[in-house]
Structure formats: C-alpha cells, structure tokens
Structure 1
C-alpha cells in the first residue's frame, strides 16, 4: 500500500511581505496529481496546515477544496501542529465526509484511523497525533494520579505507550501495518530559522527511541526534508515544508514522501521512501558584492529570483535600494554590509548625558561604515546637533 506523507503547508504565510497562497495552491495541485497518478491509498498531513491559529479566509477555502479533491483518490488524515489551532482545525471532525479524518484531540492519540487494503493485505493503522504541548497535554496523558513531567519527551512517551498498547491488542489477532504522525522536534533533526521555537523548560526535542515499534513515523515541524534514525526496524522522515519560508531554507530540495508498506505487514516499509520534488515557484537565493558588480554580470543569473542582496561597498552607495530593486525586481531583502564589518568588534561604548553627541555619532559612523568619519562628515554632524540644540532652546 502506498502512503503519501506531507506537512508544514503553513497556508496563509507570507515571505518578507510576499503573499504565497498562489504558490501554495500550485503545490497542492501537484499533491492531488501525485495521489491520483501514484495510486496512493492514504495522504497524511503532519501538522502546521495553517500558519496561524486564525487563518485568512482564503487559506480556509483552499484547505477545504484541497481536502475534498484529495479524498477523491485516497483517505486523508490531518493533524494540527504548533502553528494551528487544534480546536478550529478540528471543528466538525465527526461530521466530515467519508475519507477525510482530522485528528485534533489529545484523547484520540491511541485510536487509529484504519486504512483497509483493497487488495486484501493487512490494514494500515494511522495513529495521528496533534502537536502535544507539554503544558496542555501532561494532565490529559497522565498514566496515574500525578501529571506527567513538563517536557516534550514525557508527553510523547505517554502517547506512544497508548499507541503500542493498542497495537499489541490488535496484532494478537491479525497482522497490521502502522504509521505514526507526529509534530515534534526529534533528536537528530536539523532545524532552520523559520520553525517556531517550542522549547519548554529549555528543551525542545524528543528522543527518537520513543517511537520504537511502529513501521513508519511521518514527522512534521522541521522544514528541511530529512531522514531520522530510529531504533529497530522503524523508519521515519520529515517531509519538510513545500515552500521555502526563510532564506535559511534556500538550499532545501522541497519534497513530499512516497512510501510503500509490505502487503502482509511482515517487512514494514518496503525499500527506501521516495522523495518527490515539489514545484518551485521562484528560486530563493542570496547575492553579495559591490553595487557595480551586482548591477553587472555578477547579478545576471539572479534577476528572476526571490533574492537577498548584500551590498559590500565600504560607503553606502547613493540610492542603493532603488538601484538594486531595478536590477532585481523580486528582491526581498537589501542590506548594506561593508566587507570590513565582520572584522570589527561590536559597538559597546557607554553613552551618558555627559557624552559629546558629535563623538557618539562619529563612533556610530565608524561602526557602520568601517571607516573613521571624515572632517566633512564631522562638520555635518556638528552642524546638525547645533541646529537641534538651538531649536530645543527656542521652543
């Protein structure tokens, strides 16, 4: 049986002010086509479907339409992540059309979605876990009279104990195949700049060992597609986000995961899960150099990119931003970063009421440009401060 694993759609997100919904819709069109063409039996979406708890109306409409289209080809299982509102995403989960399963309640972590095999093989049990915030889940998942420890490892461990208990009861009678969906930072994963911090008590990670005993772990939260090493025969991956949501992701190969489970349940995942490249709406890149270089041949290959431009001239060029944006119409970030800046210590001067404002401003000029203020620049600064002081005295 084929399973399609995806996560971290972040519908409604922007990139440095650019609305990404059109590009997110193109990815979802691609996902529907993959489900159809590859004869996928289940699509699992491991959290962060929306980018925020109260998403824009257009994002809600896009999700509704996408789930309906996917359900024409496969069973669809969706869980909320740390960006979603579990209550809002899970509203109406008991009255959804056949083939769509939104699992947003912590109490349901040990109750799987059963995917029957049309060819008569062992069923696939999908244990869909919403994001388990330790503060919100440590009571709901406690095993005895005392709440669980306030940590991601404690609540995920308790959830997996429920999963393994349910699996043990079922496998005593017939073979099954098992998939766990989890939105978490598993030890060994590599983060980027665009995932929201989920640290509790200074710790944000879950040991990989808590997932032992299942066939596949469909992870969400980290935006880079990557495999995580689990003990035993368990296989698992982060599918990653479908689009780059920060410049730290510009070298990611965005994808979805297509995996196949053995028919009789004896082998778990068959072969290596396949990464299916997601469509790239516009390349994300960074260019650095003097303004003359960037306006010349050095910038030619990046004219159509979403680009971060670092201008390294010692002095800030006149009309720098306007000239850069004329050259790079899709520039998202333009910064003046003189080449000598990296070699200079941070500005740590203490400024008091007795400090000469001209000296303070001159030190700032030296810090920003990497060169001592010239006599002409000092004269301009002094004249400006004198005019400001005169205006204040006459007020």
Structure 2
C-alpha cells in the first residue's frame, strides 16, 4: 500500500492531517462537469446531481486480495485526524474520497483520491468543499476552458479478435452445459487511438449529456457512464441496482416496446438476471437487519439498450462498522460481472478472456467520512493508457462484457457487446 499527500514525498496516513471546509453555494455557473479543469479531474454525476473534484490533497494505492481493506483502513486513519467544518451536512459534503478498484486480486492496482476542491449538487442545493493541510481558502469557481476534441480517432482490436472471442463464448457455453458452472461474464476490449493524448473531460461531457440516467464517472484515467449501482449507503439505508439481461434498442418506439416485452419474458435473460440478484442478496444479507428483494425485475430503458433491472434494498444496523466501501467489497464480484459460482467463473474469465481487465467491472465511486457513499460498477467504461511510445498517439481501452449462460449464442453475444461499446465510442468521436 502506497499513500501520499499532495506535497512532495511519500508519507503514511498517520502523518497526514487534513483540513476540510464545506460551504453552500448560490448561482454557480454551468453543469458540474463543465467546472472541471485539466488538473486531476474527478467525477461522479447523474442527471445533473453528484460531485466533481480536482487536485490531489491525499491519495493511496492498494493491490491484491486486501486492496479494499487496506484502502478502508487508510481512509479511517485519515478521517480520524482530519479537521472538518461542514455547513451543509449532506452525503458527499465534508471530507470525501473518490475511488476505483481492480476487478481481480492480480494484476491491477486500486486507488482512493482526496481532491483539493469538491463541488457538489443535490436536490437543488450546491456546495463547495476545499481540502488542504493548513489554512484553506475558497477558490473562485468558473467554467473551465473547453477540452479539445480528439483527432485522428481510429479503433483497433484488443486482446481477442471477434472470431476468437466468439470461440471463447462457445467454450464457456460448453463448460456450462457440462455442469462446471451456471454463468460466466466474458468481456472484450477495443483500443482507440488518437493523434494526441485524450483530454478525458471531452468524453465525460458527452457521456453526461447523452446518458443522464447513468452515473458518469472518472477516477485516475478510468471513465464511463455506468447504469449499475453496486451499492449506495445513505444514513443506514442500503440500495443495490442489479442489471443482467440485455437487448439492443432499434430507435423505433413501437418496436422497442415489443422488444422490452420479449426481454421481460426471455427465459435465458431471466435466468441470467436471477443469478445476479441472488448473488447480491446473499452478499448483503449478513450486513443488513432487514431486506427487500423484489420478485420480478423491471425493464430499464437506456438510449442504446434495455436491461432487466432489480433494486435490492436493506437497512444496516451499525453504520460505524459497515461503510459503503466495506459493502462494495462484500458484493464484488457479483454474478452480474463475474458469474456463478464465483470461484469457477473468475477462474474461467482468467482462462478465456485473453486480456487483463484492470479496473473494468470493479467498484468505482466515492465515500465520505461518515462511511456514506455510492459505488457503481465500472461498466460502459474505458481506461486512458500511456501514449504509444513509438508514435506518441493517445490510447484508450474500451470494455464491454456479456453474461453467458446455457443457450447463449456467440454471435448474439458479440452483437450485445458491440451495443455496450457504443456509448464510449460515440463519446470519443469528435
């Protein structure tokens, strides 16, 4: 575990003492994402509400099987020494950290970042939080200079070509038919190249505008617009939105209404959805004094696809010992992104996918000092990677995954993955 403050050098959490001040705002211009400068932008926004931040007051990097526990311990130590004045008192005010976590124990790193400036909005109320090590002032807020659009955009293959990925799907179906497991989620990647490194604020603005019903996020180069809330904890109340079972939209309202009905009756999709809901309910139950698990899913309509969706709700009896990040750790990986049973599914993912997921399909979101927070699953997402050393061209890895169960058709799954890649493809396009 590596932790640091924004000042030169590396320090431990025990030596970092942060000062945070939250004040209400009136009349701040523009959407939240339009305020983001190029300096370490962070975002978690849905339908205009959420929080954005920039700068780095403190951060930690963790890895391995203990990545969640190490990050949570660092955060507990940091918050116990912080001095906080909060004049707003809403979830997301006071001391806040943004985070994203690796899908697998190895390889991959995870991070929590405490920004120097946070601007939030909720239910018509706006606030500003400034965070530092000594005396802190309030910066003048203004719209940031617009980001430049990527140029020379082109897409190349990722870990597996289309035919090879379809063969992997067929192999997975054969393993399921043989009784080795019930479901596995197989992902694929596509690489986008641009003339210059991508300013991540460009796709962020476009995703927030086009997918306002999703949670648009960015942490440490990982960005996207996820429709799936892994877990939200707000003053003891817990919510998890489960998505599994997908059909592509046509753009024709009458046709799409018929397709929604087909999705709601599809035995293959209902089976996949049941696995995902069951895995979330089983993981949350030990932490909750009461739970509500709906018997049937609803159809969630997004601009490009429709999903079967279920909102699982519960109550945490002890907020002091059960944080939102702790709940996210207990839920990850759910059947919606891994499979069932989990050990067999994750082993098959490592064998068949032909790529490293990194933080794709891992938890991404934020947490405040009380333990409240929102953690989505990093879906419909992409990772900005280092420029090509030979050409200097910018590079971004785009990801999409599909739930494979008995009866899954490789060609249909490839088409579904292509539909799931569209949001980030379009967001990068100038």
Question: TM-score, normalized by length of structure 2?
Answer: 0.21
| Greater strand share, structure number | 2
User: Looking at CA atoms only, which structure, 1 or 2, has the larger radius of gyration?
Assistant: 1
Greater RCO, CA 8 A, separation 6+: 2
